[in-house]
Amino acid sequence: MDQIIKGKAYVLGDDIDTDQIIPANYLMYNPAIPDERKLFGKYALSGVPEAQAGLPAGHIPFVDQTDPNNTRSDYVVVIGGKNFGCGSSREHAPLALAEAGIKAVVAEFYARIFYRNSVNGGYLIPFESQERLVEKFKTGDEVEIDVAGSKLLNKRTGESHTLKPLGDVAPIIEAGGVFEYAKQSGML
């Protein structure tokens, strides 16, 4: 796990559900096959309406679809509002974000199943904010997350925001997921 995460942020609103994160029609791909696993990244967040993402009509999508070989986003952090990852218990949702290049999601709070799937799979770091951030950041802002210090810096404004500590899930994320953590801890 990176201790400092730097890059562009993609800002979303409240109640981003798992079908918006990875629409059901893309679940036909098999994550165990590397070439198909990449496609989860290609179609990540393709179900989010432009208005809900706070983006003007005609914006470049989360992953640029004009290049048929592109499966990665220009963004490394997603900033969401309340109830991020609600909907079905789709394990593919945090996988899709990770395959697109997302290293962390910062939200006010999560649907518990999305949070657990993120941690258990070691896909990305699910930080919770202590304040509403979706109005303080714009899509494309350069950000920096100090993982150990639980701080999020908006380089555009120079403002630093405190995030809730990862607590007991930090070693699981550090290990790369619950199975790797169990192996490293001698549980398996």
Architecture of domain 4-184: Alpha-Beta Barrel (3.20)
Dihedral over alpha carbons 62, 67, 70, 72 (to 10 degrees): -20
- 130-173 pLDDT, tens digit per residue, is 999 999 999 999 999 999 999 999 999 999 999 999 999 999 99
Please state the rounded mean pLDDT for residues 44-70.
70
For residue 166, which of 113, 140, 129 has the smallest C-alpha distance?
A: 129
For residue 46, which of 75, 25, 76 has the smallest C-alpha distance?
A: 25
Judged by DSSP in three states, 185 sits in coil
Helix axes 92-99, 112-121, angle to 10 degrees: 60
Please state the rounded mean pLDDT for residues 25-38.
93
Predicted pLDDT at 49: 75
pLDDT-derived band at 51 (thresholds 50, 70, 90) equals low
